[in-house]
Amino acid sequence: MKKAIPILLLAVAFTACQKEPDPNELSSDLIVYTNYDKSANFGKYTTYALPDSILVLDDKAKPTYFAADDPRTTSIIQAISSEMKTRGYERVMSNADADLGIQVSYVKDTNTIISYASTNPYWWYGYDYYWPGSYWNPYWYGWGPSYAYPITYTYTIGSLIVEIVALEDANATTKKIPVIWTAYMAGIQSSNQFNINRTVSGIYQAFEQSPYILSSVQR
């Protein structure tokens, strides 16, 4: 055993010799990840509901929001509405009339709200902490989300999450609302401040890399 100690020390010393990548070499601050339910038929939906405020995820027990007249909210809502309109979806103001619901969340100062459930990639532990703060819970009280695809990252401070849920396909027996699209944008802050331009660029990029979000009206 004693003979192994110098070898282990040498191995540790060698590992410490690794040159760490220089983040200054990166030209872009933004990364955009999207995933969707391959069984979802985006073409069959025609309407969607989009709240006029942005959910802020932080360590406070009570959910907080970017207000409707906040420039951050108006920029985000405008970018999403523009993309959805281009793809043939009509925005409706009543949740009851909407086929789809869009939830927008800004992760402000917590990164522990969601963790990966390795035993079942379709479910997330801790997500119920996040979900009650959503817009869909008061309307669909006691309901939770269901994913048909795994997501293998942990949400990071200063990121934006946009999700499309299929309200039309909510399961009354299981009380689950299918989440059919997730977009995750990180790097939307600069100097620890919310960067509107970078956020809007991220939203456009998320839709650009998701050409399958297309109503039959546009096909």
Partner 1 sequence: MKSKLSILAIVAVLASAIYTNTASAQIYRPMYFNIDWQFNAIVGDDYADTPTGWGMNFEGGYYVTPKLAIGLYASFHTADKHIGEQLLELSPSSHLFTDQIHSVFQIPFGALLKYRFVEDSMFEPYATLKLGTMYTSTSSTTQVLDFYDEQWGFNVQPEVGVTIYPSAHKRFGIHIAAYYNYATNQSQVLSYNINGINNVGFHLGFSF
Contacts with partner 1, residue ranges (CB under 8 A): 10-11, 14-15, 17-19, 21-23, 25-38, 149, 151, 153, 156, 158-159, 186-187, 205, 209-210
The closest of 108, 86, 87, 97 to 50, measured between CA atoms, is 97
Full 3-state SS string of 42-81:
HHHCCEEECCCCEEEECCCCCCEEECCCCHHHHHHHHHHH
- Shortest distance in whole angstroms from residue 179 CB to partner 1: 12
User: Please, which residue, 92 or 148, has the CB nearer to partner 1?
Assistant: 148
Minimum CB distance to partner 1 smaller for 98 or for 105:
105
Smallest separation (angstroms) from partner 1 to the CB of 201 = 10
CB of 51 or CB of 202, closer to partner 1 = 202
> Which residues are bridge partners to 100 per DSSP?
48, 166
The single-letter DSSP state of residue 128 is H
**Minimum gap (Å) between residue 95 Cβ and partner 1:** 27
Smallest distance from partner 1 to CB 189, Å: 10
Number of H helices, E strands in the chain: 5, 13
Which lies closer to partner 1 via its Cβ, residue 98 or residue 195? 195
Q: Are 172 and 204 in contact (CB under 8 A)?
A: no
User: Between 10 and 68, whose beta carbon lies closer to partner 1?
Assistant: 10
Whole-number minimum distance, CB 184 to partner 1, in Å?
9
> Between 134 and 159, whose beta carbon lies closer to partner 1?
159
How does DSSP assign 130-185, residue by residue? HGGGSSHHHHTTT-EEEESS-------SSEEEEEEEEGGG-BTTTTEEEEEEEEEE
Minimum Å gap between C-beta 68 and partner 1 is 28
Q: Which is closer to partner 1, CB of 49 or CB of 188?
A: 188
DSSP state at residue 108? -
**Shortest distance in whole angstroms from residue 10 CB to partner 1:** 7
| Rounded CA separation 193/175 (Å) | 38
CA-angle at 174, arms to 52 and 37, nearest 5°: 60
